[in-house]
Amino acid sequence: MTANRWIGASHVLGRDVSTDEPYPHICGNTTNGPMTARLTFYLPRKSCAACAHEAFASKQRSGPTVEKGR
């Protein structure tokens, strides 16, 4: 049986990336082909799903904000 994989990350990185692993950083890479309608595409730094997840997680760790006077 074949393990599930992150399709976009596997294409960009040129290797199978299992869904058992966290989504990898693919920012700073250039790709083209069937995933991008054959257009060359560059994903700038801090613009991939792994970066977005880390940014969201860091906001969650900081705890909720409490408004005074309510």
The pTM (predicted TM-score) of the whole model is 0.55
Domain assignment present for residue 55? The answer is yes
CA distance linking residue 70 with residue 61, whole number of Å: 24
Mean pLDDT computed over every residue of the chain? 78
Query: In 3-state terms, what secondary structure has residue 27?
Result: coil
Domain count, the chain: 1
Q: Does residue 2 surpass a pLDDT of 60?
A: no
Query: In 3-state terms, what secondary structure has residue 52?
Result: helix
Range of the domain at 29: 7-61
CA distance linking residue 14 with residue 51, whole number of Å: 20
Domain assignment present for residue 12? The answer is yes
CA distance linking residue 43 with residue 31, whole number of Å: 8
Contact 31, 20 (CB under 8 A): no
pLDDT confidence tier of residue 1, bands split at 50, 70 and 90: very low
